[in-house]
Amino acid sequence: MKLKIQKKMGTARKNGYWDVRVSHKESKGKKSPSYTFKCGCCSKKVEIYYDEEDLEINGVIGSIENWRELLLPLLRVKNTKRIEK
Ligand SMILES: [Zn+2]
């Protein structure tokens, strides 16, 4: 899974929102790899550790399937059949 890295603060989008900042950490020992999403205007952040079967989002562990049920509707994703494993 590769997301675009974006570390610059205060990058405005055309829609008026700041670009969410994105950084990545490789796995370390038993720790899974992770992405950190930070607000474009301040130090608020969401940390997501990921592996094949689950995601840990800000310390909350759930299966991939569980997170899909919760997050896809919020992201306005309707057709989930094409999502790859
Ligand atoms: Zn902010």
CA of 45 to the centre of ligand 1 (A): 9
Would the pLDDT of 73 be above 80?
yes
Is residue 84's pLDDT more than 70? no
Distance 60 CA to ligand 1 centre (A): 22
Ligand 1 midpoint to CA 49 (Å) = 22
Backbone angles phi, psi at 22, to 5 degrees: -130, 125
* Residue 8 forms part of a structural domain: no
Number of domains in the chain: 1
SS (H, E, C) 20-85: CEEEEECCECCECCEEEEECCCCCCEEEEEECCCEEEECCEEEEHHHHHHHHHHHCCCCCCCCCCC
23 Cα to the center of ligand 1, angstroms: 16
Give domain status of residue 12, yes or no: no
Of 13-17, 42-46, 71-75, 79-83, the range with the lowest mean pLDDT is 79-83
Q: Is 13 a member of any domain?
A: no
Task: Convert the pLDDT of each residue in 9-20 to its tens digit.
Answer: 999 999 999 999
The answer as to whether 14 is a domain residue is: no
From ligand 1's centre to the CA of 8, what distance in Å?
Answer: 13
Confidence class of residue 55 from pLDDT cuts 50, 70 and 90? very high
Q: Which residue segment(s) compose the domain that 29 sits in?
A: 21-74
